[in-house]
Amino acid sequence: MSSIFLVLQVPVTGAPDNLQIESQAHNGLRLWLQHFENVVAACPYALESVEPTLPVSTIPGGDRLRIIGLDQAWQPHHFFKKMPAVSKILADEIDKADYLQFGIGGLWGDWGSVAAWISNKKGRPFSVWTDHVESDVHFKRAQGKRVLPRLYTKATAAAMIPYERAVIARSALGLFHGADCYNAYARFCRNPHLVHDIHIGADQHITDEQLSSRLNGRAGGPLRVVYAGRAAPEKGALDWVKAIAHANSNGARIVGTWYGAGIDLPAAKELADSLSLPISFPGSILHEQLLQEMKRFDIFVFCHKTLESPRCLIEALACGLPIVGYDSPYPNDLTKKHGGSVLVQKGNIADLGEAIARFSRSDILPKLSFLAKQSAADLTDEAVFAHRSRLIKLLSTQSR
């Protein structure tokens, strides 16, 4: 029987007999169980989640799944205090598993990297996975903080850089979600692969009929702009509001919706209100409901400022939404074959506003909408998890 030990960064919440996990991680565990007979997942334990959750007990095949809650330790003194007990848990599971995959990213509280060091010491080959460059995200989060917190955050980010590279260099397999992450880390890994981590099935992609109906139903109405993700500094929530304001100032009729929560949400709401913009902020909703909602919009606008590969761009394309935002390798790679994106220089709010306005003034929306759909056609949860599972199993065969 094949078993895999996963260390995830997604928290579990709730009572031990009724654990809950974020909906996309819930789907991910379902998919791992399709490729491995037994799955053990170690996750940080939190009292509550800011994201909608689902019961772990409802995962199909859950009798072959075991969840381990690890103490959270996001500060140095907590991290070193918890290290011995958590390390013992990780070491025991590493010894029992056939395959090892660790989600990494961070410094304090990054139990995936701790598991990597333990595996390396034991001579066990392991794979690492990440969808963002945490050091880059930390540098961005330092902006706007007071002096001492800013210095601490920057110092932590600087320490992450050699730490991330050292962990990746010791891995036997690097699974890097999206071109931003792959380009940042591949040169430090002996066996890097560009992969994707998404949670939409083929039946959740928009159909040609649905897309045609949406486009035909616009009837000269306002351009419907959407974003789905955390309202955090690295996501550029304030830039997003300002870009819509710039488009409106040029005579475009825009209606915006931001799905998600985060520390920048109050400021984004305040800015939108002060500019009298028709923007709503419904907060976080379940992933399946979000996908249905996104299919009602016209374009997906993003202002990502750091090296990361957010799944929301793939989901937007799968909903037939052209992705319009800041240029980086990730959106370029997603649309380089078929198209479906309009990208501007990172941080150029005026150009982004102009790009949004063009969709309301020209006839480019239908063509780019179908190209966007085509760019995501092969990206389904079943396909990407099968790809990652094959690579992990091949690694084990090669390492014997």
- Taking only the tens place, the pLDDT of each residue in 148-186 is 989 999 999 999 999 999 999 999 999 999 999 999 999
Residues 100 and 223 in one domain: no
Which pLDDT tens digit goes with each residue over 277-287?
999 999 999 88
- The per-residue pLDDT for range 348-370, each reduced to its tens digit, is 999 999 999 999 888 999 999 99
Neighbour tally for 271: CB within 10 Å: 18
Neighbouring residues of 304: CB distance < 8 A, sequence distance ≥ 6 = 234, 235, 236, 310, 325, 326, 328
Give one DSSP letter per residue of 211-276, joined into a string.
HHHHHHT-TT--EEEEEES---GGGTHHHHHHHHHHHHHTT--EEEEEE---TTHHHHHHHHHHTT
Residue 209 and residue 192 share a domain: no
Banded pLDDT at 217 (limits 50, 70, 90): confident
Question: What is the 3 state secondary structure string of 30-77?
Answer: HHHHHHCCEEEEEEEECCCCCCCEEEHHHCCCHHHEEEEEECCCCCHH
Q: In terms of domains, do 232 and 115 share one?
A: no
Task: Provide, rounded to the nearest whole percent, the portion of the chain with pLDDT above 90.
Answer: 84
Task: Tell whether 138 and 239 lie within a shared domain.
Answer: no
* 222: pLDDT strictly greater than 90: yes
Q: What's the DSSP call for residue 308?
A: B
Check whether 93 has a pLDDT greater than 80. Answer: yes
Is the same domain home to 180 and 226?
no
Q: Quick one: pLDDT at residue 125?
A: 96
Residue 189 and residue 99 share a domain: yes
Residue with tokens 């419907």: 224
3-state secondary structure of 198: coil
> Sheet containing 254-259: which strands, arranged edge to edge?
279-283, 254-259, 223-228, 299-302, 323-326, 341-344
Mean local confidence (pLDDT), 98-106: 95
- Residue 400: predicted pLDDT: 42
3-state secondary structure of 183: helix
Contact of 4 with 37, CB cutoff 8 Å: no
Task: Grade residue 396 by pLDDT with cuts at 50, 70 and 90.
Answer: low
Residue 1 in this model has a pLDDT that exceeds 70: no
Tell me the pairing of strands 299-302 and 192-195. Answer: unpaired
Predicted pLDDT at 154: 92
Q: Residue 302 corresponds to which amino acid?
A: F
Q: Which helix (H) or strand (E) holds 291?
A: helix 287-294
Strands 53-55 and 20-22 turn out to be antiparallel
Residues 273 and 159 in one domain: no
Q: Are 143 and 265 contained in the same domain? A: no
**Could you tell me the end-to-end alpha-carbon distance of the chain, in angstroms, rounded to an integer?**
17
- Average pLDDT (33-54) is 92
Q: In what order do the strands lie in the sheet with 127-130?
A: 65-70, 38-44, 3-7, 99-103, 127-130, 173-177, 192-195
What the block records as the tokens of 321 is 């939404």
Distance of CA 289 to the CA centre of its chain: 18
Confidence band for 398, pLDDT divided at 50, 70 and 90 = low
pLDDT at 397 over 60: no
Per the prediction, the chain carries an average pLDDT of: 94
pTM of the entire predicted model:
0.91
Q: Categorize the per-residue pLDDT at 226 as very low, low, confident or very high, splitting at 50, 70 and 90.
A: very high
Question: Do both 169 and 275 map to the same domain?
Answer: no
| CA–CA separation, 296 and 290 (whole Å) | 10
**Boundaries of domain holding 151:** 3-198+381-399
Question: Residue 284 maps to which CATH number?
Answer: 3.40.50.2000
Q: Are residues 24 and 134 in the same domain?
A: yes
Q: How many domains does the chain have?
A: 2
